[in-house]
Amino acid sequence: MSASDTALLTEHLTYRPIAVIDDIINSINLLAFRAIDALEKGLFAAPPSSIGFTPTSTLSAEEVATQCQHEIENGVYKLETLLNAKIDKNFDKMEIYLLRNVFAVPPDIKDWIRLSHYEGLDFRSVEENGEGADGVPTSETVTVQRKRLRETMKLNAVLRAEKERNERTIAALKGVISPSQSSAKKTVKTEDGTEMEVDVEDDERPSLAFLQKKGNLTKDGKHPIATTTEFALAQLPALKQLLDNLGPRLKELSEGDGMAGMVGEQEKSWRRERLEFIEKETRRHLENVRGLELGSQGEVRDGEWQGEGRKLGNGEVEDLEKVIGMFESHAAPPEDGDGNAMDEGA
């Protein structure tokens, strides 16, 4: 079996052909070892008399047992050596047969074999892609491949660093949610003077440990966060649908009749109109009939100053000044010739 055949079969099978043969031989050797080990244990467990070793007048029972053990060890060793030799001899023949007849590529079809991962490849364009006519890579192609390898190694390093950061972040988040498994211990003395270790209660519990409380969850009490998150995610489609329906309504209300968000009189509902009518008539009755003085919010004024009243215009102020001047001119007494005011009784 040539090196080219081995390379072709390895690329096709994704493993070396000799590896299959080695696995078969190793399996047989393992079975042979187990058989020899079981045989040895069985012989040692049997009494010496059952396998032909009986005590005599010249040999005691202990000497017979020692002799039996020695014979068993030698016999098992010889059997194991003989069995391994037969296995090696016969399976070497099998290896030669498999490499010549099974794991072999006929020479007349080797040049016509195209593997599945070679589909669509055009080897005639090797020279056009920068390689020599004989398929030998040039310095330019080697440089390009080195750059690709260098960038791949950089990306691999970045991804590994990102993975480590993510693992540290996950560990930190788990520490915030769940308490640590290891508990601190301290040594205390009892009344009789002996020392013993007790657990120290940690008052600094994780700040988000309450998220692990089951509460009234009945579906998945072991993972309350996952259950709550699953429920929240299940409500998102309904909330999104409500938001989509509310968007056009808000736009209509804000742009109605070009009033920049103010609702016009014609858009008021009949309930709103009735409420405004009742408030207006009630205020008029209290002011005109009852004689109460009401504020802007409907509060009753008690005669003291509780805020600025209605502002007067310039025309109203001038009219008031004219009225006051008329009263002053009519109220002044007439004067005599000497310029003194006349008494009414004179």
**Domain positions in the chain:** 3-121
What is the band of 182 on the pLDDT scale with cuts at 50, 70, 90?
Answer: low
Look at residue 165 and tell me whether its pLDDT is greater than 90. yes
SS3 state at 171: helix
Contacts 24+ apart (CB under 8 A), 239-246: none
Look at residue 183 and tell me whether its pLDDT is greater than 60. no
Look at residue 128 and tell me whether its pLDDT is greater than 50. yes
> In angstroms, how far is CA 317 from the centroid of its own chain?
77
pLDDT of residue 88: 92
Residue 190 DSSP one-character state: -
Look at residue 15 and tell me whether its pLDDT is greater than 70. yes
Look at residue 151 and tell me whether its pLDDT is greater than 80. yes
Contact in structure between 36 and 80 (CB atoms under 8 Å): yes
Q: Please list the residues that pair with 185 across neighbouring strands.
A: 199
pTM of the model: 0.36
Considering the chain, what percentage of its residues have pLDDT values greater than 90? 19
What is the band of 270 on the pLDDT scale with cuts at 50, 70, 90?
Answer: confident
* Spatial separation of the C-alpha atoms in residues 235 and 220, rounded to whole Å: 18
SS3 state at 198: strand
Q: Which residue has the higher pLDDT, 294 or 170?
A: 170
